[in-house]
Amino acid sequence: MPPVLEGNVAIFGAGGPVGVSAARALQGHYTLRLTDVRLSGEITQPQSAGAPLPAVPLPPNEERWVDVSNYAEVLEAARGMDALINCTVVRPHLEAAFLVNMVGAYNVAKAAVELGIRRIIHTGPYHLNLNHNADYWWDYDVPPDVPLHPGTDLYAASKFLGGEITRTFAERHGLEVITFLYCGFLPGDGGPREDGSGLGPFYTSWEDCGEAFRYALRAPTPPHPYEVFLICSDLPHGRFSPRKAKRLLGWEPQHDFQRLWKRAPAKP
């Protein structure tokens, strides 16, 4: 299938900061249908310091209230779209986590198949440590394709299941699913953090986060129906790298947060 160079794109979970970043990067290039269980005017507190907030979309973009755990709503929101982006997430609440992270993923993939939409961008977390010996906390050069071992963490496990469901749909129905995994986010200039305050091994700037979606829509058909990418800065820790995204999507991060992981110059 040819890449999605123009057309209509639905973003599920558009009220969250990843969805907002995606919308900012895609508007003007695509006509967006921004969906969430809260409309833009209702979201006034950033998820974290420096995290972007949604803006009211201007025509031809539109906003729609959609509960991703409701298939009928997802199907109608996906109708007429050329690609779907799933940024929905619930972290701490048991029932909602499974309904959104798992059933929501199922609904998005199923709607894509029903409507003949091939390209989906799915999103999820990469958990740095999960407090068990089969995680990757003590590994280096961890590839994006590493099997996720969510253990018993609610967020990790429910998102893992959503990913596996999406993979199954992709493989069975010949979809082109590009999955982005993230860990920590910061504004590209490091936000309020002080020079030399240190930085963990997996961070993404909000600005880089959004741009990756544009590349994912425009990329040629990936080698496998379900491809996972670490959308992260190229940090010196030797643990996580964005090079697969560069190779297959042509995307590379612009921010590297150097002022945080380099020693601050001594004050005179």
Q: What is the dihedral of CA 212, 32, 67, 116, to 10 degrees?
A: -80
Selected range binding other proteins among 70-78, 96-104, 173-181, 196-204, rule: CB under 8 A: 196-204
Q: Is 246 helix (H, G, I), strand (E, B) or coil?
A: helix
Question: 56-59: which pairs have CB atoms within 8 A and are 24 or more residues apart?
Answer: 57/23, 57/27, 57/32
Q: Examine residue 80 and tell whether it contacts other proteins (CB under 8 A).
A: no
Q: What is the nearest approach in angstroms of other proteins to the Cβ of residue 137?
A: 7
Which part of the chain contacts other proteins (CB under 8 A), choosing from 10-18, 83-91, 142-150, 155-163? 142-150
Answer whether the bond into residue 60 is a cis peptide, omega within 30°. yes
Rounded to a whole number of angstroms, the minimum distance from the CB of residue 193 to other proteins is 12
Residue 203, both tokens = 């961070």
Say if CB 43 and CB 22 are below 8 A apart: no
Q: How far apart are CA 233 and CA 255, in angstroms?
A: 6
Least CB distance to other proteins at residue 156 (A)? 14
- How many residues touch other proteins under the rule CB under 8 A: the total is 33
**230 scored as a contact of other proteins (CB under 8 A):** no
With CB under 8 A as the contact rule, the residue among 48, 65, 140, 174 that binds other proteins is 140
Rounded CA separation 11/196 (Å): 36
Should residue 238 be labelled a site residue for other proteins when binding is judged by CB under 8 A?
A: yes
**Nearest to 11, CA basis, from 81, 90, 61, 85:** 85
Q: Which CB atom, from 93 or from 247, has the smaller least distance to other proteins?
A: 247
Query: Which residues of the chain form contacts with other proteins (CB under 8 A)?
Result: 129, 131-134, 136-143, 145-147, 196, 198-201, 223-224, 236-239, 243, 247, 260-263
